[in-house]
């Protein structure tokens, strides 16, 4: 079922907020995120509920004892719509260019310049417009970190995640393991930045299509095995 550009904007934001908290979203929260009135957001949710893209529920209102408030969550139909849309708009040549650049960066890592390559990747991440590119660069960043830590650490990480490489959980395990390994070796500012990037990465990874997740797994498998 087709949605107008305006409704797609609301639905995309609802999905983003829901996946960040894993809780139904109150329409006032949605309105604040989009810079519209709460009634505009509420009316939009009601219309998309009729189309099957959102579901409503009720939860206790912490601000008013004894009263409940309406909250909304995206349905599977909404998630399927956005996954299909991303696959339809996917350009394989862009991904090939991204992976080639990541491989080049990995190949350039030496003991003497690892920090320089890390800074370069960090500076480039913010310019990645597509979700797949962003996730690819995050994997590249953590692959560079384990190379910096040495062959022994790289083998340990590979052994830990090797059986799950071709799955979303394997990608998550890899990033979480590397972050846990390096977090004590970096300064607070860098640690906070990495933590925020990982949080965004996990949220974004969940929004990728199965095909996009497979391509990430292939990138990781090629780099580690």
Encoded tokens for 220? 């990781």
Does the model's pTM come out above 0.75? no
CA 182 to chain centre: 21
φ/ψ region of 11 (left if φ > 0, alpha if ψ in -120 to 50, else beta) reads alpha
Whose CA is closest to 95, among 199, 224, 211? Answer: 211
Q: What is the pLDDT at residue 71?
A: 93
Residue 58, helix vs strand vs coil = strand
Whose CA is closest to 224, among 163, 134, 182, 137? Answer: 163
Whose CA is closest to 131, among 121, 139, 123? Answer: 139
Show the low-confidence residues of the chain (pLDDT under 50). Answer: 88
The Cα 142–Cα 11 span in angstroms is 32
The Cα 174–Cα 197 span in angstroms is 14
Q: Which residue has the tokens 């597509």?
A: 130
Q: What is the pLDDT of residues 106-124, one digit of tens each?
A: 888 876 688 888 888 888 8
Q: What is the pLDDT at residue 170?
A: 82
CA 219 to chain centre: 16
Q: What is the pLDDT at residue 193?
A: 81
Q: What is the pLDDT at residue 147?
A: 82
The Cα 220–Cα 225 span in angstroms is 8
């Amino acid at each position: 079922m087709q949605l107008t550009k305006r409704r797609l904007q609301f639905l995309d934001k609802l999905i983003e907020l829901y996946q960040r908290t894993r809780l139904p979203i109150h329409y006032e929260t949605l309105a604040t995120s989009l810079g519209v009135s709460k009634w505009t957001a509420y009316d939009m949710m009601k219309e998309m509920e009729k189309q099957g893209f959102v579901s409503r529920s009720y939860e206790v209102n912490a601000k008013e004892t004894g009263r409940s408030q309406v909250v909304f969550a995206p349905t599977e139909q909404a998630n399927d719509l956005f996954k299909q849309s991303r696959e339809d708009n996917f350009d394989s040549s862009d991904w090939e260019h991204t992976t080639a650049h990541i491989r080049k960066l990995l190949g350039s890592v030496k003991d003497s310049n690892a920090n320089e390559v890390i800074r370069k990747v960090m500076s480039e991440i913010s310019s990645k417009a597509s979700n797949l590119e962003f996730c690819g660069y995050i994997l590249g960043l953590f692959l560079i970190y384990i190379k910096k830590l040495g062959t022994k650490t790289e083998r340990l990480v590979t052994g830990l995640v090797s059986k799950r490489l071709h799955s979303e959980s394997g990608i998550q395990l890899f990033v979480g393991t590397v972050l846990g390994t390096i977090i004590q070796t970096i300064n607070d500012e860098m640690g906070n930045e990495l933590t925020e990037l990982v949080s965004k990465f996990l949220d974004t990874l969940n929004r990728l299509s199965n095909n996009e997740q497979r391509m990430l797994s292939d990138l990781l498998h090629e780099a580690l095995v």
